[in-house]
Chains A and B, each alone.
Chain A
Amino acid sequence: MKKLCDKVLEKIRKEKIEPKPRWHFLLKDYFVWLAFAVSAFVGALAFCVTLSIVVDNDWDIYRYLSMSPAKHILLSLPYLWIVVILLFLGLAFYNYKHTKGGYRHGTFVVLALSIAGSVVLGLVFHSLGMGRKIDRIFSQNLPFYQNVHCCCNRKDIWSQPEKGLLGGRILNVRLENGFDIEDFGGIIWQVEKNNETLIRGPVLIIENEEVKLIGEKRDERRFRAREIRPWSGK
């Protein structure tokens, strides 16, 4: 009766079995690490966009919307991006666990490090303004993005002049008294402002700038602004 080692060698020779080349294993390792890095990177990007949306959101306007603060918060959260974060964190975790030594680290440690890594990298991206840029690019190029990324469409919220909320693009500036804007429905408004109008932070009252206005509707085409905010940022 043949010994096992003879049978094994006979099979190897008969079927011309060769060891897989070293580069096969190296490539597999690199691919898994690359998949991990990409997942963590996208997760970090998603985090930075979420952060930008949350930071730029007007959490205080619930009063004008006749809404409780809790409801406003729930409607304002960027659920799409939260799902993207969770998805890519999950992918990063999965890919890390499939690296050569990934099994040595416990689930909690790997998850915690993935989250920490995404948060730190996300904060760096956020400080570079990448979150706002990505949000703007998506808004301009994806037709349903505004409707999908959170439960409330920001443009719809700022198209309620009867509630004191008006948003749009500045068309022309009339000396000190005000300016004209085109709202998101294409209607042109004359906006009045005075010395008591609060102009928030980095907003520029110049042509083509997008702004948000809090105030009151005077008539069908006139709006008095008590507060002017930049469309992005605060």
Chain B
Amino acid sequence: MLDKNDCQEKTDEELVRLALKNQDFFACLVERYEPKLMRYVRRISAATQEDAEDLLQEIFVKVYRNLNGFDPNLKFSSWIYRIAHNQVVSQWRKTKSRPQVLKFEADEDFLKFIASDVDLAGDTERKFSGEEVREFLKRLDKKYREVLVLKFLEEKDYQEISDILEKPLGTVATLINRAKKQFAKIVKEKKIKF
């Protein structure tokens, strides 16, 4: 059985190599990525906590199955996020006949992050509710929502987003620009001032 020290000093890539020989090292990767992926999965899906855990379990099993397919030219985090994203999309396609309500963990900083990047005219500060944040995001196209989450909440750079979503860099940049414009338009329509 491994202890924490066996995992802490090792890079993701080293853990991948070790996990291929010894399953216990895979637990290190799971522990390292569980909190991040749980937040990410809940942000982009309509999953409850329980559903998200089940989904996350499937994601990690898929990661384990495909460990030999990991391309060392990519960051491991981009690769695992890509699997998580694809699994969520796949799950959404299976269940899309059922009515979905976008649930979003109201992140107080989300609008501040995006507002600093978007030219929103405003001179007052206003508290926003999670409900309003949910409303804004619900109105965004899915393709814009996913890049905004990756950029402003997961704090991924353009290259990482390109690798996660498997889209060219130029397309990612265009999507983010359009997402911000659409978001600003939605906020202005609601006459929310920051």
Contact = CB atoms under 8 A, between A and B. Distances in A.
Nearest to B165: A103
B68 A11 contact: no
Interface string A1-20: 00111111101110001111
Nearest to A21: B68
Contact of B23 (A3, A9, A22, A105): A9
Contacts of A6: 27
Contacts of B88: none
Interface string A21-59: 110110000000000000000000000000000000000
Interface string B166-182: 11111100000000000
A12 B167 contact: no
B64 A103 contact: no
B4 to A, nearest CB: 12
A14 to B, nearest CB: 11
A19 B162 contact: no
Interface of A (DSSP majority class): helix
Query: Interface extent on A, as a size class?
Result: 20 to 34
B89 interface: no
Contact of B20 (A9, A12, A19): A19
Contacts of A100: 71
A9, A17, A21 interface centre (most CB from chain B within 10 Å): A9
A180 B176 CA distance: 75
A28 to B, nearest CB: 8
Contacts of B68: 19-22, 24-25
A5 B30 CA distance: 6
Interface in B45-83: 53, 56-57, 60-61, 64-69, 71
A6 B1 CA distance: 12
A114 B171 CA distance: 20
B147 to A, nearest CB: 15
Contacts of A12: 23, 26, 61, 64
Given A104-B169, A105-B168, A106-B171, A19 B67 contact: yes
Interface size class of B (residues with CB under 8 A): 20 to 34
A9 B27 contact: yes
B31 interface: yes
B64 to A, nearest CB: 6
A5 B23 CA distance: 11
B34 interface: yes
Nearest to A110: B168
Given A8-B61, A103-B166, A20 B69 contact: yes
A103 B23 contact: no
Contacts of A104: 162, 168-169
B65 A19 contact: yes
A19 B64 contact: yes
A191 to B, nearest CB: 62
Given A4-B34, A5-B30, A6-B27, 16 more contacts: A4-B60, A5-B60, A8-B26, A8-B57, A8-B60, A8-B61, A12-B26, A18-B65, A19-B20, A19-B64, A19-B66, A20-B65, A20-B66, A20-B69, A104-B168, A105-B168
